[in-house]
Amino acid sequence: MKLEHSLEFDELYFYNTLKTGIALPVLLKLGSLETSVEAKLDTGASHCIFQRIHGEYLGLEIEKGELLSFETVTGDFRAFGHEISVKVLETEFFSTVYFAENENFAKNVLGRNGWLDRVKLGLIDYEGKLLLSEYNK
């Protein structure tokens, strides 16, 4: 059975298909402070997680956030949640994201809670196309 469905998106972004994963430019903001990062889209990640240094650039006291423990196939780690503004391409909203406790944590990830649950996302990986809109638009 063929199902026809139409979706509309506000943004089209071409990502580098030669890189491992789908990397997106992200701007994290808190008040007048902001930091730019490159984060990987990870539909298997439960939350958005960033390196500790990015939270410190925003003036956050990392350990004063909501503690959450994460379990992965490569090991466990802890991170602390803080509500900040997250901007990916031109789509921006406030979200609780997590900053790793360990200074050596070297990944930035856009996950399901805090990002994927707030956007409409389309991918055409063969062409390196990512289509994006805010979910409630």
**What is the spatial distance between Cα 120 and Cα 137, in angstroms, rounded to a whole number?**
9
- 10 inside domain: no
What amino acid is encoded at 60 in this protein?
Answer: L
pLDDT per position as a tens digit, 5-32: 888 999 999 999 999 999 999 999 999 9
What is this structure's pTM? Answer: 0.92
For the chain, the domain total comes to 1
- pLDDT at residue 137, rounded to an integer: 73
- 71 inside domain: yes
Domain interval for residue 71: 20-134
Any idea what the CATH number is for the domain that residue 112 is in? 2.40.70.10
Rg (CA), the chain: 16
| Residues 6 or more apart in contact with residue 99 via CB below 8 angstroms | 49, 50, 51, 52, 54, 55, 60, 62, 65, 79, 80, 82
21: left (phi over 0), alpha (psi -120 to 50) or beta: left
Using CA atoms, how far residue 27 sits from 74, 78, 113, 127, in Å, is: 27, 23, 17, 25
- 15 inside domain: no
- 76 inside domain: yes
